[in-house]
Chains A and B, each alone.
Chain A
Amino acid sequence: MPVESGTCIIETAGLTKRYGDICALAPLDLQVSEGEWLTVMGHSGSGKSTLLNLLGGLDRPTAGRLLVGGEDLLAFSEDHLARFRREAVGIIFQQHHLIPYLTALENVMMAQYFHSVPDQAEARQALERVGLGKRLANRPGELSGGEQQRVCIARAIINSPKLLLGDELTGNLDHKSTRLVMELLKELHEEEHFTLVLVTHNQEVAGWGGRTLFMDDGKLVKDLRHERKGDDPS
Chain B
Amino acid sequence: MILARGVTMLLVWAILVMGLARAYAGEKAALTAGCAAGLVAGTIFGFFLFAAVPGEIPFFIIKSALAAAFISLFIVAAIVWYRGTAAEGDRPSVRHAVVAITVFLFAAGYGLLLVCRLPYGTDNSQFMALLLILLAMLGLWMIVYRLEPLLPNIGMAKGGTSLFAVSLLLFIASLSPRLDLFSPLSMKVMKLIHDFVHQFFESMLIPDHPFFRTDIWNYIGLLFSNGVGFWGGLAIWFIPTTGVTLATFREPLPSVAHVRQAAVRRKLIAAQLRERRRRLFFPLFAGLVMAAAAFNSSHPSVEYWDPKPLAVKADSAGEIVLPVKDGDVDLKDGKLHKYLYQKGAQKVRFFALYRSGELTVVLDACSICQPDGYGQNEGTVICYYCKTLIPLETVGKPGGCNPIPVPFAVDGSGVHLSAEMLVNTWVAQVQSEKKLPGGGK
For B249-293 the 0/1 string (1 means CB < 8 A from A) is 000000000000111101101100100000000000000000000
Question: B266: nearest residue on chain A (CB-CB)?
Answer: A116
Pick the most buried of B262, B264, B267, B270: most chain A CB atoms within 10 A of its CB: B262
Chain B residues within an 8 Å CB radius of A160:
261-264
A158 touches which of B263, B267, B269 (Cβ 8 Å): B263
Q: Does A16 reach chain B (CB closer than 8 Å)?
A: no
The answer to whether A122 touches B273, judged by C-beta atoms less than 8 angstroms apart, is no
| Interface positions of A from 102 to 116, Cβ below 8 Å from B | 112, 115-116
The answer to whether A116 touches B269, judged by C-beta atoms less than 8 angstroms apart, is yes
Pick the most buried of A112, A117, A122, A159: most chain B CB atoms within 10 A of its CB: A117
For A124-167 the 0/1 string (1 means CB < 8 A from B) is 00000000000000000000000000000000001110000000
Chain A residues within an 8 Å CB radius of B273:
117
Q: Is the interface of B mostly helix, strand, loop or mixed?
A: helix
The answer to whether A116 touches B261, judged by C-beta atoms less than 8 angstroms apart, is no
CA distance A194 to B182 in the complex (A): 62
CA distance A205 to B262 in the complex (A): 30
CA distance A27 to B114 in the complex (A): 67
CA distance A160 to B261 in the complex (A): 8
Pick the most buried of A116, A158, A160: most chain B CB atoms within 10 A of its CB: A116
| Interface positions of A from 168 to 220, Cβ below 8 Å from B | none
Q: Does A119 reach chain B (CB closer than 8 Å)?
A: yes
Question: A158: nearest residue on chain B (CB-CB)?
Answer: B263
Q: Is the interface of A mostly helix, strand, loop or mixed?
A: loop
CA distance A158 to B273 in the complex (A): 20
CA distance A196 to B182 in the complex (A): 66
Shortest distance between the CB of B405 and any CB in chain A (Å): 69
The answer to whether B263 touches A159, judged by C-beta atoms less than 8 angstroms apart, is yes
Question: A160: nearest residue on chain B (CB-CB)?
Answer: B263
Shortest distance between the CB of A154 and any CB in chain B (Å): 13
CA distance A160 to B262 in the complex (A): 8
The answer to whether B262 touches A119, judged by C-beta atoms less than 8 angstroms apart, is yes
Chain A residues within an 8 Å CB radius of B261:
160
CA distance A77 to B64 in the complex (A): 53
Shortest distance between the CB of A145 and any CB in chain B (Å): 27
CA distance A214 to B200 in the complex (A): 93
Shortest distance between the CB of A188 and any CB in chain B (Å): 14
Chain A residues within an 8 Å CB radius of B263:
115-116, 158-160
CA distance A122 to B269 in the complex (A): 14
CA distance A115 to B261 in the complex (A): 14
CA distance A112 to B267 in the complex (A): 9
The answer to whether A122 touches B270, judged by C-beta atoms less than 8 angstroms apart, is no
The answer to whether B262 touches A117, judged by C-beta atoms less than 8 angstroms apart, is no
Chain B residues within an 8 Å CB radius of A119:
262, 266
Chain A residues within an 8 Å CB radius of B269:
116-117
CA distance A116 to B266 in the complex (A): 6
Question: B270: nearest residue on chain A (CB-CB)?
Answer: A116
CA distance A112 to B263 in the complex (A): 8
Question: B272: nearest residue on chain A (CB-CB)?
Answer: A117
The answer to whether A122 touches B262, judged by C-beta atoms less than 8 angstroms apart, is yes
CA distance A136 to B282 in the complex (A): 42
Shortest distance between the CB of A148 and any CB in chain B (Å): 23
Question: B267: nearest residue on chain A (CB-CB)?
Answer: A116
Shortest distance between the CB of A121 and any CB in chain B (Å): 9
Chain A residues within an 8 Å CB radius of B264:
160
For A81-107 the 0/1 string (1 means CB < 8 A from B) is 000000100000000000000000000
Chain A residues within an 8 Å CB radius of B266:
112, 115-117, 119, 122
Shortest distance between the CB of A219 and any CB in chain B (Å): 37
Shortest distance between the CB of B249 and any CB in chain A (Å): 16
CA distance A112 to B269 in the complex (A): 12
Shortest distance between the CB of B153 and any CB in chain A (Å): 15
Shortest distance between the CB of B259 and any CB in chain A (Å): 12
For B407-437 the 0/1 string (1 means CB < 8 A from A) is 0000000000000000000000000000000
Chain B residues within an 8 Å CB radius of A87:
267
Shortest distance between the CB of A227 and any CB in chain B (Å): 31
Question: A119: nearest residue on chain B (CB-CB)?
Answer: B266
Chain B residues within an 8 Å CB radius of A122:
262, 266
Shortest distance between the CB of B268 and any CB in chain A (Å): 8
Shortest distance between the CB of A191 and any CB in chain B (Å): 12
The answer to whether A115 touches B262, judged by C-beta atoms less than 8 angstroms apart, is no
Chain A residues within an 8 Å CB radius of B267:
87, 115-116
Chain B residues within an 8 Å CB radius of A117:
266, 269-270, 273
Question: B268: nearest residue on chain A (CB-CB)?
Answer: A116
Chain B residues within an 8 Å CB radius of A159:
263
For A30-51 the 0/1 string (1 means CB < 8 A from B) is 0000000000000000000000
Question: A123: nearest residue on chain B (CB-CB)?
Answer: B262
Chain B residues close to A by CB (< 8 Å): 261-264, 266-267, 269-270, 273
9 contacts between A and B (CB under 8 A): A116-B263, A117-B266, A117-B270, A119-B262, A122-B262, A122-B266, A158-B263, A160-B261, A160-B264
Taking A112-B266, A116-B267 as known contacts, 6 extra A-B pairs with beta carbons closer than 8 A to each other, sorted by chain A number, are: A115-B267, A115-B270, A122-B266, A159-B263, A160-B261, A160-B264
Chain A residues close to B by CB (< 8 Å): 87, 112, 115-117, 119, 122, 158-160
* 5 nearest CB pairs, A to B: A116-B270, A116-B266, A160-B263, A116-B267, A159-B263
